Structure formats: structure tokens, C-alpha cells
């Protein structure tokens, strides 16, 4: 039995498979700059995610920063989003010199409350940036209707939603663009990495320029850009992991089912539930520790930690209340987001999680 249990554990292919796959790099010495494996992974991921356009990135955060930049917004423009997310989402808006306008979330799943979006729209609003938090799908139809009505862009933070399908379509087909994270702790990883997906294929060239210094030839730089390319070692890790992804998700599903069966009878422990019309990738297991439970969320967190079980308060504090923003957004009217942040605790969930390890966690929660 593992001594320390972390909230996530990276999925990795068999050692021999990865070592065999990277051998050609010692012959070619082509380690980065959109090499063979970078191109192959882009194509394989387009097929798996069922999208028409995809650009690989060094990580999901840079993907979000660059797709916001690619949209051509002006300094001071406003993007409606939620603060119930990882800090990256808000940082990407602010680092583009835009203003995040925070909308509250729904208590059932933690996604943006689409009924509260319109009242936040002003003459400066240019986009909506909802989050498929924990892989729970936002109300994409209503969000798109609002965007069409006010001529707004929709960019989804789908960092948690790799492989999720809604009404039979890959989740990346909704909105103008979506970003995925391939960080080591995600359902699918390239160690570090990410991607932007889109239907307007003109965005591919824009993103290519932004992630590669604007270089389009040995002596030609056509625009100002950053360095956000994925390297070949990461691309190969992605290709290897993609071969096993369906088995990995199946293992997660089995662990999730066992957890929920055992937890559902405990007074004061409840769950967030996603849309039944969407598939799940079983990325996270957030529980809500209600007032009727025998201890507070923080007390349960501390109890588990004392027994070397490392859960996470995803997402506390909410991004609008983080100290890096001072008091800029303290007045955000987001009571549901703040309430969820006070109650949520994400339990260990990964493909290699053993039943006896889950039992060890459950024994403490009982």
C-alpha cells in the first residue's frame, strides 16, 4: 500500500514503449520546432477530439493567453468569466490587459450560470470565457445564443474536459475556440503541454505565429510572438499516452463508481453532478462537505493530511479573491462560487488508484 496518497498521479505509458519511441530523436537531433512527432500528435488529437483545427502548445495556460490575443481585443475590453477555476483562467485575461467580469456559477455543477450572463454585458464586453469545471459541460447552447445576440466571442476553458463529448460531438466543437491542458496531472498528459482547438482554420496561422516568435522563414519574421511550442519529447509522450487513453478513462470510471457507491450514504457529503447529455472523463472527484457532516471541510482536509492523504480545496479562494489582485474584484457578486469554494474537497482520483487505497480514504471519511 502506498504510504502517501496524492490527489493526482500522472498516467504514463510502459517504460519500454516510451524509450523505444524516443530513440529516433538521437538520430535526427530534431528536438523541437514543430518536428515530425509534433505534427503527428496534432493530427491524432484532431481525430480523437473530433475537431477540425488544433494547435499544440507548451502548456494549456499559454494556449489560453494566445487564443485571447489572437482574437484581437483592445486593452480594457471586458471578458465575462467565473472565478471558480484555477488561477490560470483569470491570469490569461489580465495578462492580455483585459478586464475579467465575474459571473456566478450554478450550485449543481460549478459551471457558469448562464441565466446571469446578460446582465453583466456592457458596451466593453467582447467575449464570454466559461469553464468546463471538473469536466462538467457548460450550457453551451444558451451561451452561444447570448453570444450571437450581442456579437461576442466564446472561448472555453476546457482544461478539465479532455475527451468529453456533448450530444455526440467533441466538446471542443462549441464556441469559437477551446483550450485543453495536457499537464502531468490531467487525464491525458504530454508531461507539460496543451492545445487550442477551433473551427475557423485561419486561427491556425495566427496561433502558429504567436507561439513561434512570428517566424515564417529563415530571414522572415512577420509579427511579434512568444515561444510556446511543444517539444518532440512531450509530443512522443502524448502519442504513447493516447494509445492507452480509453483504458485509463475506464479505470477512472471504475474508481469513481466505487467511491460514489460508498460515499452516497454518508450524511453531509454531497456531489456535483454533470449534464446527463455529456460523457465524463472522470477527471476529478469533488465532494461537498455540508454543514450536516460531522466536521468542517477544513477539518476533514487536515485529518486526511495527517494520514498522508493529500486532497485539494479546488478552488479556494476563488480567483477574484486572491491576494495578487488586491481588492480589485472583492465586490464581485458571486455568492454561489464563494459557497462552493468553502465546501469543496477534491479526493484522490487517477487511473492507478487501487481499491484498498480508496478504502483507506473512505475509512477516515466515515
Candidates 42, 72, 51, 71; CA nearest to 197 is: 51
CA distance 342 to 245: 33
Instruction: Supply the pLDDT for residue 228.
Output: 98
CA neighbours closer than 13 Å in the CB half-sphere of residue 53: 20
Average pLDDT over residues 101-116: 98
In this prediction, residues 42-67 reach a mean pLDDT of 98
The DSSP element (H or E) to which 159 belongs, if any, is none
Closest CA to 66 of 47, 92, 44: 92
Q: How far is CA 334 from the centre of its chain?
A: 21
For the full predicted model, state whether its pTM sits above 0.85.
Answer: yes
Q: Which CATH class is domain 15-240?
A: alpha beta
Q: How far apart are CA 307 and CA 165, in angstroms?
A: 37
Q: State which CATH number among 3.40.50.2300, 3.40.50.2000, 3.40.50.970, 3.90.1150.10 fits the domain covering 244-365.
A: 3.90.1150.10
Alpha helices (H) along 29-181: 36-49, 60-70, 87-95, 140-150
Tell me the C-alpha distance between 299 and 268, whole Å. Answer: 14
Contact between 106 and 134 under an 8 Å Cβ cutoff? The reply is no
pLDDT at 27 over 80: yes
* 151 φ/ψ sector (left φ>0, alpha ψ -120 to 50, else beta): left
Measured in residues, the chain has a length of: 366
Q: Which pLDDT tens digit goes with each residue over 324-364? A: 999 999 899 999 999 999 999 999 999 999 999 999 999 99
| Separation between Cα atoms, residue 47 and residue 65, nearest integer Å | 24
- Parse the chain into domains and list their residue ranges: 15-240, 244-365
Query: Average pLDDT over the chain, rounded to whole?
Result: 97
294 in Cβ contact with 303 (< 8 Å): no
Rounded to an integer, the average pLDDT of 141-168 is 98
- Look up cell 477534491; give the residue: 346
- Residue 181, SS3? strand
- Say what the pLDDT of residue 3 is: 86
| H or E segment and range at residue 251 | helix 232-263
pLDDT at 2: 53
Cis check: omega of the bond before 56, within 30 degrees of 0: no
Q: Assign 343 to helix, strand or coil.
A: helix
Query: Could you give the CA distance from residue 168 to residue 292 in angstroms, rounded to a whole number?
Result: 38
d(CA 177, CA 258): 35
pLDDT band at 138 (very low <50, low <70, confident <90, very high): very high
Percent of the chain whose pLDDT exceeds 90: 99
Helix (H, G, I), strand (E, B) or coil at 53: strand
Q: How many angstroms separate the CA atoms of 189 and 351, rounded?
A: 13
Amino acid at each position: 500500500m502506498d504510504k502517501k496518497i496524492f490527489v493526482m498521479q500522472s498516467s504514463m505509458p510502459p517504460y519500454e514503449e516510451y524509450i523505444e519511441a524516443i530513440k529516433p530523436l538521437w538520430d535526427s537531433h530534431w528536438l523541437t520546432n514543430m518536428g515530425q512527432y509534433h505534427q503527428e500528435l496534432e493530427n491524432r488529437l484532431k481525430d480523437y477530439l473530433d475537431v477540425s483545427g488544433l494547435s499544440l502548445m507548451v502548456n494549456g495556460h499559454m494556449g489560453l493567453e494566445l487564443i485571447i490575443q489572437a482574437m484581437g481585443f483592445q486593452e480594457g475590453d471586458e471578458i465575462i468569466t467565473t472565478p471558480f477555476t484555477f488561477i490560470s483562467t483569470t491570469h490569461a485575461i489580465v495578462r492580455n490587459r483585459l478586464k475579467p467580469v465575474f459571473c456566478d456559477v450554478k450550485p449543481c455543477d460549478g459551471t457558469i450560470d448562464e441565466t446571469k450572463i446578460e446582465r453583466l454585458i456592457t458596451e466593453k464586453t467582447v467575449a464570454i470565457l466559461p469553464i468546463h469545471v471538473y469536466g462538467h459541460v457548460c450550457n453551451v447552447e444558451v451561451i452561444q445564443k447570448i453570444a450571437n445576440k450581442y456579437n461576442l466571442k466564446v472561448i472555453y476553458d476546457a482544461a478539465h474536459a479532455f475527451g468529453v463529448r456533448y450530444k455526440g460531438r467533441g466538446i471542443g466543437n462549441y464556441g469559437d475556440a477551446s483550450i485543453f491542458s495536457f499537464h502531468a496531472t490531467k487525464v491525458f498528459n504530454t508531461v507539460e503541454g496543451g492545445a487550442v482547438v477551433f473551427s475557423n482554420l485561419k486561427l491556425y496561422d495566427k496561433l502558429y505565429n504567436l507561439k513561434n516568435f512570428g517566424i515564417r522563414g529563415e530571414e522572415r519574421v512577420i509579427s511579434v510572438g512568444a515561444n510556446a511550442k511543444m517539444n518532440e519529447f512531450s509530443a512522443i509522450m502524448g502519442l504513447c499516452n493516447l494509445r492507452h487513453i480509453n483504458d485509463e478513462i475506464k479505470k477512472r470510471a471504475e474508481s469513481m463508481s466505487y467511491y460514489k457507491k460508498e460515499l452516497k450514504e454518508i450524511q453531509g457529503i454531497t456531489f456535483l453532478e454533470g449534464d446527463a447529455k455529456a460523457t465524463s472523463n472522470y477527471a476529478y472527484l469533488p465532494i461537498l462537505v455540508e454543514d450536516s457532516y460531522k466536521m468542517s471541510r477544513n477539518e476533514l482536509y487536515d485529518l486526511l493530511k495527517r494520514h498522508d492523504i493529500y486532497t485539494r480545496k479546488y478552488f479556494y479562494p476563488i480567483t477574484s479573491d486572491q491576494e495578487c489582485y488586491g481588492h480589485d474584484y472583492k465586490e464581485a457578486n458571486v455568492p454561489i462560487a464563494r459557497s462552493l469554494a468553502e465546501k469543496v474537497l477534491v479526493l484522490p482520483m487517477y487511473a492507478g488508484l487501487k481499491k484498498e487505497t480508496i478504502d483507506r480514504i473512505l475509512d477516515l471519511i466515515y
